Amino acid sequence: MDYQKLIEQLWQQYSREINAAREIHQLFEKEGEKIVNDHVALRTFDDPRVNIEVLAEPFKACGYVEKGAYDFPNKKLYAKHYEHRHDSDAPKIFISQLLTGYFSNGLQACVRELIDAIPEKTLQDPQKLILCGTPWGEISYQLYEKLLQESQYAAWMYAFGYRVNHFTISVNHLKKYDTVEKVNAFLKKNGYVLNTEAGEIKGTKKELLEQSSIMAERKKIAFTEGEFEIPSCYYEFALRYKDEKGKLYQGFVAASADKIFESTHNK
């Protein structure tokens, strides 16, 4: 499979379930903008059966290579990003994982049980894994809330599983909305709530990357105890600047990404 088909599969699943993604995409297109994806983000656990290396396999098979690694000590996360070897227009892939060893024995046991419940055929097919949603079957709101007390990330993974956490529009490719300020104003004008943690814009021109995002869309999820509305996925926007050599920066800024993670928090 070429990377375009894989990204399209991920987009179809994400946009089918996240109304805001479809709406915002259409709003920009109505303004005459052509949408180009800066990066696509996925989440996982550090268990060797499903860790970053496993989720990266389908992308590596499509020509992606590892380019950067990032630590998030406050959230007890680790991440890597990947770029296509030959196609500079291909969206970057950002995969993060929860470092479960820093959490309680209860959370660690829960994660092991979840992964134990994933069908072996899914575990053996990473391409199937990244699109499988919640492969551990029924989910409990009581357990969701328990996980939420320790880690919003763990609770989100339990409720939503393996799917794209967010797509990111490249502001560099927009014409009319060519700054993050303009993008944010356009979003607010159309009724979307921005992630304001540490300000609406994360990062600076000096850091070569500015980012913003809407807060995750709240969705009704079927738990064993009934339906409950919780934060799901969100849409992000990124503007990259050229470095001193005149090359557009392609990495990520951990301090900014740390605040972007807050887009799925219960506010």
Question: Vertex 142, ends 140 and 145: CA angle to 5°?
Answer: 110
User: What's the pTM?
Assistant: 0.96
pLDDT at 40: 98
pLDDT at 198: 86
pLDDT at 266: 66
pLDDT tens digits, residue range 105-136?
A: 999 999 999 999 999 999 999 999 999 999 99
For β-strands 77-84 and 37-45, DSSP reports them as unpaired
Report the C-alpha gap between 267 and 251 in whole angstroms: 29
Using DSSP, state whether 214 is helix, strand or coil.
Answer: strand
pLDDT less than 70: residues of the chain: 266-267
Report the C-alpha gap between 7 and 38 in whole angstroms: 12
pLDDT at 267: 56
Residue the block writes with tokens 């060519």:
178
pLDDT at 133: 95
Angle formed by the axes of helices 19-30 and 3-17, nearest 10°: 110
One-letter identity of residue 187: L
Percent of the chain predicted with pLDDT > 90: 92
pLDDT at 258: 82
Q: What structural domains and CATH numbers belong to the chain?
A: 3-264 (3.10.180.50)
Please tell me what DSSP assigns to residue 264. Answer: G
